[in-house]
Amino acid sequence: MLRKFTAILSMVILSAQAGASGLDLRLANETAEIMYLTESSTFGYGGADIGLGYLFNEGDDFIISGQAMITGHSAGNNRSLQFGVGVKLAMISIDRPPVNEDVGALAVGGQIRYLFPSSTPVAILAEGFIAPEVVSFSGADRYWEYRFAVELEVTPSARAYIGYRKIGVELLNIVPEFEIDDQAHIGVKFEF
């Protein structure tokens, strides 16, 4: 418990110094994740959404991650459709006997988001990251995660969502597939 509290406190301090502009809190039955969000105008035309996250579960596994996602609208008149490409660096600690491993991965990913045109803004989102063996390290053979969500804009600076996420890692010579998260979640995303 002290390790979880220390990691969350460290992220709060680091994100305050980085000029955080948002917070994403995701809760499931056995998993919780907190991510601080900021933007950088040094990437491309519209900048990049940058996040620093900490995920933990009841099994004392945790993931510390940093990600950058560049998003934009599709060509043409469809401004409701948004695409994104990005990278994610994940440091994963697995602590479930007989497995006690600290591994990492540099994953590439993408995102598709569609905002339904209506008086109540509702959006659907699909997002995924994958790291094959060549960019997985310290005993990891492969890392992947994907997520689907339905979002509701509560205010211009707050969204609530419900979704499903799966996160897994393959460990060299240990287990073929180790799931860190595989369940539905609820969340809120605030912008400051």
In a 3-state reduction of DSSP, which class is residue 97?
coil
Q: What is the dihedral of CA 83, 189, 25, 167, to 10 degrees?
A: -10
pLDDT digits (tens, 9 = 90+) for 79-130: 788 899 999 999 999 887 777 889 999 999 999 999 888 888 899 999 999 9
Quick one: average pLDDT of 135-141?
90
Q: Which CATH number does 2-190 carry?
A: 2.40.128
d(CA 152, CA 161): 6
* Cα–Cα distances in angstroms (integers) from residue 60 to residues 2, 26, 74, 114, 162, in the given order: 11, 17, 41, 35, 24
Q: Are 49 and 69 in contact (CB under 8 A)?
A: yes
The two three-digit tokens of residue 131, written as one number = 């790291």
pLDDT given for residue 150 in this prediction: 97
Range of lowest pLDDT (40-49, 76-85, 143-152): 40-49
Question: What is this structure's pTM?
Answer: 0.84
Q: Is the pLDDT of residue 164 over 90?
A: yes
pLDDT digits (tens, 9 = 90+) for 1-47: 445 545 554 555 454 444 448 899 999 999 999 999 887 655 445 56
